[in-house]
C-alpha cells in the first residue's frame, strides 16, 4: 500500500457516455487496489479540471472511446493548468492508436493504456505517478 495516511484519490472520467464496460472494470480494479475512485462519468475537460480541484484528486484518469485522444487530452491539460492543478498526474486509457499514445506521453501524460493493458499496470502507474509528485526528488 501507499505510505500516505489516506488512500490515493483518483478522479475517473469518460470522454463520452458510450460503452462503459472497460471504464467500470478499470474503476473496480483501482478500487480493489485501495484507491478512492470518484466515478465522474462523462465530463467535458473543464468539468474534469474543476471536479479534480474541488475533490482534491491526487490523480486524474480519463477513459477515451470516441473523442480524438490528442485533441481531447490537450484540452484537459489546458483546463487543468487554468484551474491551477497542472501538476496533478493524468492517465489516459481506451481506444488510442499507438501513434497517438506516443504523442500523449510526449505531452506529459503519466501513463497511456491501450487495449490489452493489465489492471496491475494501471494501478502501478497511478501509484508511481502520485509518489513521484509527493516525494521530493
Partner 1 sequence: MPKERTPSGIPLRDFYGPQDVAQLDYTRDLGDPGRFPYTRGTRATGYRSKRWTVRQVMGVGTGRETNARLRHLLREGQTGISLTGLGYAPFESGDPRAAALVGRGGVWVDTLADMEDVFEGIPIESLSINQTGNSIPAFAMIAGVARRRGLALSDLSGTIQNYVLPWGEPPRYEGNHYIDLIEFCAKNMPRWNHTSISVRNTRESGIGADQEIAFGVYEGWYAASTAVERGADANVVGRRLTFFLNAENELLEEVAKFRAMRRLWARIMRERLGATDDRACQLRFHVQTSGVALTAQQPLNNVVRATLHALAAVLGGAQSLSVNAFDEGAGIPSQFAQTLSVRTQQIIALESGLANVVDPFGGSWAVESLTDELEKRSAAIFESMTRMSAAQAWQYVTDSTREAAYRRQLEIDRGEQPVVGVNCFEEADEDDLALGDSMKSAAPDYDPAWRTQQMERLARVKRERDPRRFEAARRRLAEAYRLREPIVEPTVEAAEAYLSIGEMVDALAGVSGEAELRKRGGFITRLYS
Would you count residue 98 as binding partner 1 (CB under 8 A)? yes
Specify the residue, 30 or 58, whose C-beta has the smaller distance to partner 1.
30
Would you count residue 95 as binding partner 1 (CB under 8 A)? yes
Strand partners, 63: 14, 93
Would you count residue 106 as binding partner 1 (CB under 8 A)? no
The residue count for binding partner 1 (CB under 8 A) is 32
Q: Give the position of cell 473496480.
A: 28
Q: Number of helices (H) and strands (E), helices first, in the chain?
A: 5, 5
Q: Give the position of cell 496533478.
A: 88
Angle between helices 119-134 and 21-32 (to 10 degrees): 60
Would you count residue 41 as binding partner 1 (CB under 8 A)? no
Which region, judged by CB under 8 A, interacts with partner 1, from 5-13, 71-79, 103-111, 128-136?
71-79
Amino acid at each position: 500500500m501507499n505510505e500516505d495516511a489516506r488512500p490515493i484519490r483518483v478522479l475517473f472520467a469518460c470522454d463520452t457516455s458510450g460503452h462503459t464496460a472497460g471504464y467500470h472494470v478499470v474503476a473496480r480494479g483501482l478500487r480493489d487496489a485501495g484507491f478512492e475512485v470518484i466515478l465522474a462519468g462523462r465530463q467535458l475537460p473543464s468539468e474534469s479540471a474543476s471536479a479534480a480541484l474541488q475533490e482534491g484528486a491526487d490523480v486524474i484518469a480519463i477513459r477515451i472511446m470516441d473523442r480524438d485522444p490528442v485533441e481531447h487530452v490537450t484540452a484537459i491539460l489546458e483546463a487543468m493548468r487554468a484551474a491551477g492543478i497542472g501538476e496533478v498526474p493524468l492517465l489516459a486509457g481506451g481506444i488510442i492508436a499507438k501513434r497517438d499514445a506516443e504523442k500523449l506521453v510526449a505531452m506529459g501524460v503519466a501513463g497511456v493504456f491501450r487495449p490489452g493493458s493489465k489492471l496491475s499496470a494501471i494501478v502501478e502507474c497511478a501509484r508511481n505517478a502520485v509518489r513521484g509528485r509527493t516525494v521530493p526528488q
